[in-house]
Chains A and B, each alone.
Chain A
Amino acid sequence: MNAQRLVQAIDRVSYWSGKAFAWLIVALTFVVSIEVFKRYILNAPTAWMFDLNNMLYGTLFMMTGAYTLAAAGHVRADFVYIYLRPRAQAALDLALYFLFFIPGILGLIYAGYDYAALSWRIGEHSTVTAEGPPIYHFKSVIPIAGALVMLQGLAEIVRCVECLRTGVWPERPRDVEEIDVVDTQLAQSEFVDEESRRAAVASAHAIEEAARHRSAVDESERKEP
C-alpha cells in the first residue's frame, strides 16, 4: 500500500508541475501577438523578444515532460507491445527503464547541472543581441526538468513492479485526451439525434483503444443506437 501512496504522490507532483507550466502556451501566444502589433504597427520591435520566445517554448516542453510521462503521452511504437499480456509488458518496460531510461536521464541531469552551474558562475547572457537577457535560469530548466522526469520514471518503475505482482496495470488518474473532443462537439450538436450521440460519446474511448489494436469494438459491448 505504501508503494501506491508513493506513486500517487509522484503523479500529483508531475501533474501539478506539468499543468502549471502548460499555461506558458497562453503567455507565448500573447507575447508573440503583442510583439507583432508592436513591431509592425508601432514600429517599435523589442530586442529580447527572440530570447523570450525561446525561453517560453523551451521551458514549456521541458517542464511538461514528466506530466506527459505520467499521462502515458510519450509516443511508443507499440504494434507488438499491445499484443503482450500485462505481465510481459511490465517486465519489458521494467528492464528498459533500467537499460535506457535511467542512464539517459541521469546523464541529462548530471550534464545539465554542470551546464547550468557554469552559466550561473559566469552570469551568462544571451548573445543573440548585443545586450541579451540573462539565460542562466533558462539553462537551469534542463536539470530541473530532468529531475522531474526521473522522479516520474521511478513512479513508473513502481507501477511495473505492481503490475508484475498483480497481473493488471494500476489505474492512471483520468486526464484529458484528444478523443474527448468527440464529447465536446456532440454535446453542442443540433443535427445529430440524441441516441447516436450518446452511443458515440459512451464508446469513443473504447473505439480508440480498439483501433490502436487494429480491431473493431466488441459487438456485444456496443450499444446499438
Chain B
Amino acid sequence: MSDPALGLTMLGLIVVAIMMGFPTAFTLMGLGMGFGYLAFWAPGQHWYNNQIFDLIVQRTYGVMTNDVLLSVPLFVFMGYIFERAALIDRMFFSVQLAFRRLPASLAVTTLLVCAFWGIASGIVGAVVILMGVIAMRPMLNAGYDVRLASGAITAGGTLGILIPPSIMLIVYAAVAGQSIVKLYAAAMLPGFFLTFLYLVYILGWAILNPKIAPKLPPDKYHLAVPEWLQRLERGRSRRVIGGLIAAALRPSLLRGADAPDGRRIGYGLILKNLLTAVVPLALVVTTFGTAWWYVVIYNAPAAVTAASVSTTQTASVSAEPAGSSTLAEPDKPQELGTPESVTETAEAPQSADAPPQRMGSPLAEPTGESAMGHIPEHFYAWFWGLAVLSALLLGLYYWRMDGEQLEILRELVVSVVPLGVLTVVVLAVILFGITTATESAAIGALGALFLAVMAKYPRQVCWWSLAGALVGLVLGLGRGDFMTLFVSASLGGVFAGTLVPGLLNFRTSPALRKNLNESVFLTAKTTAMVCWLFVGSALFSGVFALHGGQSLIERWVRSMDLSPVGFLIMSQLIIFLLGWPLEWTEIIIIFCPIFIPMLDHFKVDPILFGTMVAVNLQAAFLSPPVAMSAFYLKGVSPKHVTLNQIFAGMMPYMLIVILCLVFMYIWPGMTLWLPEFLYGN
C-alpha cells in the first residue's frame, strides 16, 4: 500500500518532527519504521513478517560496512589529537613575527592561524573562543578596529569546515556516492581561493585606510637575540649563517659566551641552530624531489613524447597557483613557512593524470598503465624554472638571514612546520592517489599521535624514531629503490617514535593520558552521532522513495520548469536558510539527498554541487544575527565590544563567500579543474 499521499505526509511530518528537537537519528528511525510498516503491510501477512524489518537491518549493516564513512573516525581522531597537542598560541606568536612587516599583520596572522588550525580541527566554537583569548586582546591593544579584529576571527574560525580534510566533505561523499578524493580535490581551490579573498579584503582595507590597523610599536615585534648569537653576526647587515658555520668548525669562537639558560655554550646548541637553519632547504629539496619522483618515476614515462591536449592545459594552468601564492604572501615569501607555499606551487602543477585509487600497486613500482602515465610536455621547463627560482629565493634568504631571523625561524620550525608537513603529506598522498583516503587518514592520525608524544618527550622520540627509521630501512632494503627506502624509513620512524616513548611514559604522564582519553571518547561520540544519523536517514530515505515521495518532489520541481541556474539558486538558497537553525550534519545527511537525484536532470555536476554546499554553509554560519561564532566571540571579548560590532565585522565576509559562490558558478572550472586534471574524467 504505497501511495504518494503518504509520501507527502512523510515530507511534511519530517520537517515538523525534526524541529521538535528530539535526537534526529531516532526521529528518522521512528518515522521510517512507522511509514515503512505501512508501505510493506499486506493483508493476511503476520505482523512480524513485515519486510520493513529486512530494510532496517540491511540499511544499518550498509552503514556499518560503508567504506567511505570508514575514514570519518580516523580523520576526527586526528583532529582531536592535534588540537590538544599543537600549541595554538605559540603558532600565533611565531606566524605573527614572520608577518610583522605586512599591514594589519595581526589580522592576517589571525586569519591564517584560524584556517590552518581549522584544517586540523574543524570545531568552530573552540577555535573562536581560543582565538578570542589569544588574538583579540593583542589586536585591540594595538588599536585595531573592532570590526576588523572580530571579522578575522569569526571568518577564519568557520573556514575549517571547508578546507580538506574536512569531515563534512566525507559525509557528503557518502551521501552522494561520490569519491572523497575527487571532492577533496574540488574543494581545494575554492577553499584556498576563499582564504585568498579574505586576505585581499583585510590587506586592501588596511592599505586604503591605515588607521584601522596601526603598525605595531617596534618593541612588540622584535625578538631578543641571545648574546652568543649576536657575537656570530657579521657585518652591518648582521648576517649569521657564515658565523654559525665558522662556530661549528671552531667552537672556540664562542669561548666565554653563555647560553640563554645560563649554561656553557655546547656543541649541541650550535648544531641545533644549524639544523634549524637547514630546515627550509630540506623542505624545498624534499618537495622538488617528491615532485620529480611522482612525475618521472611513479607515473611511468611510457610515452614521453605524447603531447595531448591535457598537457598543454597542464602548462597553462600551472602558472596560476604559483602566481596566487606569491600574491598571498607579498614581498617576504621567505619569512613565513616557505616550504608550505613551495609545496603547493611545486606539487600541484606538475603531477600528471594519476589514476584515482591505485590500491594494490606497491609504492615504487612503475605502473603498467602506460596510457595513464605520461610526463606533461612542459614539465622539465617548469620543474627547472621553479627549482632555480626557489634556489635563488633560498639563497637570498640565507644570505640576508640575521640572528633575529634565525630565532624566528626556530619558533616557526617548532610550532608550525610539524603540523604543516603532516597536513601537506596527508593531503598530497590522498590527492595524488598514492593511498586511499582511509589509509591516509590513518597515517594522519598516527602522525598526530607522533606529534603529541613529541611535544612532551622530544629527546626520547628523536632517538626512538632514529632506531625505527633504521629498522624500516632494513625492512625496505629488499625492495631496492630510493623512494621506498625513504618512505619505509619515515614510516618506521613514526611507528617507533610514537609507540615506544608513548607506552613508556603513558603511566607517568597525565597530560599525555588526558589527551588520548579525551580524544578517544570525543571521537567515539562524534562518530556515533554522524553514523547513527546516517542509519536513520538511510532508513527514512529508503521508505520515502518506496512511497514515491522522491519522485513526487522530482515531478514537482520539473513542473516548475526551472533553468539549471534557477535550480542551483533555489537549492542553494534553501540550504543557506537551513544553515541558520541546523547543523551541517543534518543538512548534509537529511536534506542533500533530496536534491542530489535531481542534479542529473539539470546537468549539474554532483561534485560541483557538493563543493558549493560546503561554501554556502560558510555563508550561512557567518550570517547575522544567527551565527553562533559571533556569540562565542562575544563571550570572550572585553565588555566594550558589542554584538553589533561583531556582526558588522562578519558581514563583509559573508558577502565575500557569496561572491565566491558566484565565481564558482560562472567558472565551474575553478572547482572541477583539479579533480579532472588529477584523475581524468
Contact = CB atoms under 8 A, between A and B. Distances in A.
Interface in A14-39: 18-19, 21-23, 25-26, 28-37, 39
Given A36-B439, A76-B23, A211-B632, A54 B70 contact: yes
Contacts of A35: 439
22 contacts: A32-B443, A40-B435, A54-B70, A61-B524, A61-B527, A64-B527, A76-B22, A79-B21, A80-B19, A99-B30, A103-B30, A104-B30, A104-B536, A108-B60, A111-B54, A115-B61, A141-B64, A142-B60, A176-B521, A182-B129, A185-B83, A208-B129
A175 B87 contact: no
Interface string B147-177: 0000000000000000000000000000000
A137 to B, nearest CB: 13
A25 B107 CA distance: 37
A9 interface: no
A72 B120 CA distance: 25
A57 B73 contact: yes
Interface of B: 17-27, 29-34, 48, 52-54, 56-57, 60-61, 63-65, 67, 69-70, 73-74, 77, 83-84, 87-90, 92-93, 121, 123, 125-126, 129-130, 132-134, 137, 360, 362-363, 435, 438-439, 441-443, 445-446, 449, 472, 475-476, 479, 484, 487-488, 491-492, 495, 514-518, 520-533, 536, 581-583, 585-586, 625-626, 628, 631-632, 634-636, 638-639, 643
B559 to A, nearest CB: 29
Interface string A153-193: 00000000000000000000001111111101110111110
Nearest to A188: B87
A36 B491 contact: yes
A144 interface: no
Contacts of B31: 100
Given A39-B362, A189-B89, A211-B125, A74 B24 contact: yes
A64 B69 contact: no
A179 B126 contact: yes
A31 B74 CA distance: 12
Contacts of B126: 178-179, 181-182
Interface in A196-222: 196-197, 200, 203-204, 206-208, 210-212, 214-217, 219, 222
B64 A80 contact: no
B125 A208 contact: yes
B524 A68 contact: yes
Residues of A contacting B: mostly: helix
B134 A191 contact: yes
A108 B56 contact: yes
A40 B133 CA distance: 45
Contact of B89 (A65, A73, A190): A190
A203 B517 CA distance: 23
A194 B472 CA distance: 45
Contacts of B435: 36, 40
Contacts of B17: 100
Nearest to B442: A32
Given A100-B31, A179-B126, A33 B495 contact: yes
A210 B19 CA distance: 20
Given A100-B27, A214-B628, A41 B491 contact: yes
